[in-house]
Every structure is written in structure tokens, then in C-alpha cells.
Structure 1
Amino acid sequence: MVSGSNDSQTPPLVSLAAGGVAGGIEAITSYPLEFAKTRVQLRSQKGIPTPRNPFRVVTQVYQKEGVRALYKGCAALVVGSIGKDGVRFLFFDQIKHAFSDKETGTLSPGRNLLAGMTAGVVASITAVTPTERIKTALIDDARNERRFRSGLHATRVIWQEHGILGLYRGFAGTTLKQASATAFRMGTYNILKDYETQRDIQQNTLTNFANGSVAGVVTTLATQPFDVIKTRSQSARGTSTVDAVKSILIDYGIRGFWKGTTMRLGRTVFSGGILFTSYEAAVKVIEPLYSGVEHTVIAEAD
């Protein structure tokens, strides 16, 4: 993923570790915007309209509930992001290496998207769906019932009431969102990077951030309906994907499937730049350490 056209493949453990580091950094720095977007997408209380401006949502929550409320569910998202981005960078790098052109080291746009889609499905199954379920349930619960004391408590309650299926509520919407989002985000980023590499455009922090931001815009506009369906499915009480779709149509009509687009767009532009920049930086730090340990192990074996 991070290698240029003539570079060797990034080792799997390096991809996994660097992706996890990047995911954790991205989740923590952009969480208030994620919180605001989730609040807007959840069903509004009667007589209490939700502002469209994410900064107004953040300000209102801060004034009424304090700064800690803005990070409700953050721990679940951080854990999920570490697992999600570790897994999807790992799988994307392996898939890209398997299908790339052996001479140039690049993928066609179609294969870039397919590689990202496959990585997204794996990430949804292994990490994203249960952690997103806990995060969304915590944010929704904080508005009304306040049953959940923490992420672990929410996990126990949901498990006791609904079993493991309760933690995978919204799986269909999450997987559709994750597969398409990863396809567009990773695919767009790598299409841009391959284009620049072929034209000897230097890869640095600025180009990494710009490519990641463009990938974030494309991802948001293409996958927003799946994100809204996922959020509705994963409310505190939970609902099926079909019921989530019905409730969106009843509340807002077809336009409701793009609810929170502005907020998510702001976050994904910001977080996309952070994610890929952090990943590239983490690889530069981790890969030499990994190589040193690997060479030491081989030397001792000999």
C-alpha cells in the first residue's frame, strides 16, 4: 500500500501495526465530529429538532452535559478503529500485492476498488460491527435512559438481553457501508498515489494528507445512505435493517438517507488526511524496527 512502484511489499505485521496506530490516532482526533454526526442521524425527540451545524451540536452538548459527553462511546470507537484499520490495511496490502502489475507494482482502478471492498468486509466482521454497535448505543442511551455506565457495561447488558446477535445488530448496513467505504477510500487513495508515482511526484506529508482528504470526500458522498441505515439499526434498543430503512423514509423521505452528510464530510476530509498520513509515518518508524528484529532472529537461528 505504502510502497512505490519499485519498492518491496510492506510486511504483513508492519501493515497491521501501522494501520492500528493510524486508526487509533484518527479516531481520537476526529471523535467530536463523529459524535455530532451520530446524534443527528439518530431519531429526533419530538419537539426537539436537531441542528444541522455540527459545531452547534457539539456546543449544545458541551453546555448541557460537559466535555466528557462529547467523548461518549469514544473508547469503543478507538478500539474498533485500531482493529478495523489494522485489518483493512493488512488485507488491502496483501490483496494489492497479489493482483498488482509485476513490473509497475500498480493496480487498475477496478482492482483497487475490489481490493478495498474485500478488506472492508473482513474488517466489518472482525472489528467494526460490534464496536460501532456499542459506540452508537452509548451515544443514543446518553440522550434518554442512561442505562449504560460504560462501554463494557453496555456490552454486558446487550449480550445479556440479545446475545451475540445484539452486538451484531446492523451488520448488513455496517458491512455494506464498510465494504463500499473501504473500496472508495483505499481505492481512491491508491489510484491517486499510483498516478503520482508514475509521474515522479514526490510523496510527502502534504501529498499524503491531500490524497487522504480527497479519498474522504469521495467516500462520504458515495456511502452516506449506508452510514445512516447503520446508525439507525444500532440505536440503544436496536432495530433491523429493514425497520431502519422504513423509519428513515417515514421521518425524512428519500433525503433522509443523506442525513449528516455535512458533518461526516467534515470528519472524513479531516480524518482521511490524518489516517493515511499517520499510516505512512508509522510504517517508516515500524518497518526498520521490524526488519532489525527479523534479522536478529534469523542470525540467532543460524
Structure 2
Amino acid sequence: MASKKRQEKPFNSLFAGALAGAIEGFVTYPTEFVKTQAQFAASQGQKPPGPIAIIRNTLAQNGFRGLYAGCSALVTGNALKAGVRFLSYDSIKLAVADSKTGQLSLPRSIAAGFLAGLCEGAFAVTPSEAIKTRLIEDGKRPKAERHYNGLISGSAAIIRKEGISSIYRGLGPTMMRQGANSAVRLTTYSALRTIATKDGRKPGAIETFAMGSIAGIVTVYTTMPFDVVKTRMQSERASQYRGVVDCAVQIAKNEGIRNFWKGTTPRLVRLIMSGGIVFSIYEATLDALNALENKVDKDIKPKVKETVSTK
């Protein structure tokens, strides 16, 4: 499958991706909260409560704001993550596209997506999700017993107490998860977009949302084991594992293979919404930026010509 090479400016890719990531992170955060809570329960040997039970208990104990515990870390990280992802992917795919046809083959698209995912995993996702995971854990405690008061103070407290390495726990599985996520998600979306635009037309907003949602569904089922291992390695109980491989082996041995897909439902809901929101906002923002640049060019060029002619 090939896709047409689109030459997006680096700033446009970064800005559009960051805006899309921030909005998507805030809108879908409650599903991330529910998924993480289910994975915590499983790691403690408990039968994970269902999504409805988690939401009901959280609302009863902490109110609606409880569903957004750790939200600031994820929204900030999501904006940075999406910005890095689209900037990396757009840059890499232009570099590896066929020099004659300007097209991107399926293997090259997968490679570009995987490399973009590794970049976002290292520079954005690992620190933000490590902090988010700890803030969610802390939010389960009674208010009087909580250690952190928010993103900034919580981040400072974690680093001060445990060192900078504490927010890079799970770097390996996080990079692998993000590499797999981006390879699957971006390639699936690019393939669908190629099909939708093969006659030269531009997909509408609903069609773009649908393509992004489908890409999210495919991503969930293929990458969920990475997400489970990542969450365990970033929790307060991470010391019980000797490393990523040991963590995966213990989960498979003590809890069963099916536990690698624990929390799939809330993550599925999130990535269906996420895919639709991110790609829709990303494409709309790029269109708006391009339209603005074209308008500025039209406004400037006549003035330049007029200045030249008067001389």
C-alpha cells in the first residue's frame, strides 16, 4: 500500500499535533483513569472491578474531579507526545519515501511510524506517564494521606525523593509500546487515507474521524500487552520485578495470558475516540495553517510588487 507524500512544514506538524494531542488527552482522560485502575487491581492480585464499578466508586469517594486525577500530567504529555509523533513521522516519511514517485510503501510506512513512536516514547511519553501513573495511585488514598498536590509539586516530589531515573522507569516497554502504537496507528490511517483520496478528493470530517477510529481499534488489540507491562513497571510495586522480561513472565505465569489484555475495554473506548479526535483536529489544523499562510502570501506579494514598481 502506498500513500502520497505530503510535504508538511515542521512547525505545522508540531503545532497541529500538539493541539490535537492536548484536546484528545483531556476529552478521553476518564477512560485512561479507568484502565489504569483496573490494571492496578490486577497487579495486587484482586479481581479487577468493571469500568462502571470503578467510575461509580470514584465518583462516590472523590466526585467528578476524581476521574481526572493525574490528568494534567497526561494532557501535557499528550500534547508533547502528539507533537513529537507527527513531527517525527512527517519528517521520517519524507526522508524514506521513494525519490521518483514520492510515495511511501507499506514497509517504509511501518518503519517510519515505529521510529516516530520510539522518539515520542523517549522524549515525551515515559516521563509524563510515569508521573501520571503515580498521581493516579496517590489519588486512591484518602485526601489526608496523599503525597502529591498536583502535577508540578508531584513531579518535583517524585524526582526529589527517588531521583530523575524514577520518571524513566519502564522506558524500554514504553518505547516499544509507542513504537508499535505509532507503526500500527499511523500506517493504518495512512493506508485508509490513501484509499479515500485515490480519486483526488479530500475526505470530509466524518470520514477522517472514522478512519482515525478504525486505526485506534487495530492499535489497541495489537499493542495492549506492551501497555500492561508498562503500567506495572511504572507503579510503586515495580521493585518486585527484575526487569521488563521478568515482569512479562510473572504476569503470564501467575495471572495468565489473558491478563495482558486487562483494561482493554476502557483503552479501546479511548483509542476509538482518540484516533478520531487526533486525526480530525490534526488535519483541520493543518488546513487552517496552510490557508492562513496562503492568505499572508497573497497579502504580502502584491505589496512587494507595488513597492518594486514604484522604485
1:138 corresponding residue in structure 2: 135
User: Hey, what does 1:208 align to over in structure 2?
Assistant: 208
C-alpha distance in structure 1 between counterparts of 2:274 and 2:132, whole Å: 18
Give the structure 2 partner of residue 289 of structure 1: 292
1:238: Cα distance to partner? 4.0
Instruction: Determine whether 1:265 maps to 2:268.
Output: yes
Q: For 1:115-169, what per-residue CA distance to the aligned partner results, in whole angstroms no more than 9, with x for missing partners?
A: 1101011111111100000011111122245212212222112212221111101
The residue identity in structure 2 corresponding to 1:224 is M
Q: Normalised by the size of structure 2, how large is the TM-score? A: 0.86
Kept in 1, the 8 Å contact 2:133–2:235? The answer is yes
Q: Where do residues 190-209 of structure 1 align in structure 2 (5 Å cutoff)?
A: 190-200=190-200, 202-209=202-209
Show the counterpart of 1:33.
31
Q: Distance in 1 between matches of 2:166 and 2:299?
A: 46
Report the equivalent of 2:111: 114
Question: What residue is the counterpart of 1:64 in the other structure?
Answer: 61
The number of equivalent residue pairs is 296
Q: Which runs of 5+ in 1 are unaligned?
A: none
Say yes or no: does 1:173 pair with 2:170: no
The answer to whether the 8 A contact 1:174-1:230 is kept is yes
The structure number with the bigger radius of gyration is 2
C-alpha displacement at 1:291, in angstroms?
5.2
Relative to structure 1, is the Cα distance of residues 12 and 163 closer, same or farther in structure 2, using a 3 angstrom cutoff? same
Mean Cα displacement is larger for which, 280-289 or 209-218?
280-289
**1-side partners of 2:12 and 2:30: how far apart?**
29
TM-score where L is the length of structure 1: 0.89
Which runs of no fewer than 5 residues in structure 2 stay unpaired? none
Aligned partner (choices 84, 89, 96) of residue 81 of structure 2 = 84
CA separation in 1, counterparts of 2:267 and 2:134?
18
Instruction: Give, in whole Å, the separation in 2 of the partners of 1:35 and 1:231.
Output: 12
Q: Give the structure 2 partner of residue 248 of structure 1.
A: 251
The answer (yes or no) to whether the contact 2:41–2:48 under 8 Å persists in 1 is no
Match of 2:277 in 1: 274
SS at 2:103 equivalent? coil
- Could you tell me whether the CA contact under 8 Å between 1:40 and 1:260 is conserved in 2? yes
Q: Deviations over 1:48-85 (max 9, x none)?
A: 64323x23322221122111110011110011011110
Instruction: For residues 234-279 of structure 1, give each alpha carbon's deviation from its aligned partner in whole angstroms, at most 9, with x where no partner exists.
Output: 1145444345335523552221111111221111111111110011
1:201, distance to aligned residue in structure 2 (A): 5.4
**Contact 1:50/1:57 (8 A) holds in 2:** no
Structure 2 residue aligned with 1:93, among 80, 83, 90? 90
Larger deviation, residues 126-135 vs 244-253: 244-253
CA-to-aligned-CA distance 1:203-251 (integer Å, 9 cap, x gap): 1111111110110011001100000001111114544434533552355
Percent of pairs with identical residues: 41
Are residues 87 and 252 of structure 1, via their aligned partners in 2, closer, same or farther at CA, if it must alter by over 3 Å?
same
Q: What letter matches 1:132 in structure 2?
A: E
Question: Alpha-carbon deviation of 1:97?
Answer: 1.8
Query: Do residues 150 (structure 1) and 147 (structure 2) align?
Result: no
Amino acid at match of 2:248: V
Residue type of the partner of 1:222?
T
AA aligned to 2:255 is Y
